[in-house]
Amino acid sequence: MKILLIGATGTIGKAVHARLAQSHEVLTVGHKDGEFQVDLQSKLSIQALFEKVGEVDAIISTTGMAAFAPLSELTDEQYELGWQNKLMGQINLYRVGAGFVNAGGSITLTSGMLSEEPMVGSASISAVNGALNAFVKAAALELGDSLRINAVSPIFVKETMEMMGMDSSTGMSAANTAVTYQAAIEGVMTGQVLDVREFV
């Protein structure tokens, strides 16, 4: 299977690449690094990416930025970051990328557990994740059997928590998180939000 992995240079992306590259051809995409580059906030950049890459069997996005801050302190710019980058950036990966996915292929986006299990400071991220989940469920209703679309909902990643000086005991390793992305592209489900805790 030929897979386009956007966010391949991030913590989760690297683990997904390591897992999938054992049995698939994986093309890596980053903002500045990787085999290809893309600006997720630019639909033109996304279009240019797919024109370079051509047809693939699956698209995986493990990327997307959003602000984490107390509700009373969130600025217009911080809200806009989540809307334009993590939300519309990934929706545009579908809008543009769907035309480059072979019949029977799949698109897997990344939301996150804060949509269902919010915490103080997560209002913007929780809203973005919830919107992504809703988009995937609704989009699948119109795609039929020609294209599957799902969202992976990770919990906090141990490596990131440790890098930030947090207690990582409640987190999941990037390697274990990657298992769910493999299930998404190799399975038959569509319109699903995949909780990583159910696949380990």
Q: Tokens at residue 81, please?
A: 């970051």
What is the predicted pLDDT for the residue at 144? Answer: 87
* Residue range 110-136: mean pLDDT, rounded: 98
Neighbours of 11 (CB within 10 A): 17
CA proximity to 135, closest of 114, 108, 100:
108
Among 100-104, 150-154, 163-167, 181-185, which stretch is predicted with the lowest mean pLDDT? 163-167
The CATH number of 2-163+175-198, from 3.30.1600.10, 3.40.50.720, 3.30.2420.10, 1.20.1050.10, is 3.40.50.720
- Which DSSP letter does residue 85 get? I
**Residue spans per domain, the chain:** 2-163+175-198
Q: Where are the beta strands (DSSP E) in the chain?
A: 2-6, 25-30, 36-37, 56-61, 101-110, 147-153, 193-195
Q: What is the mean pLDDT of the chain?
A: 98
pTM recorded for the entire structure: 0.97
Mean per-residue pLDDT, 13-25: 99
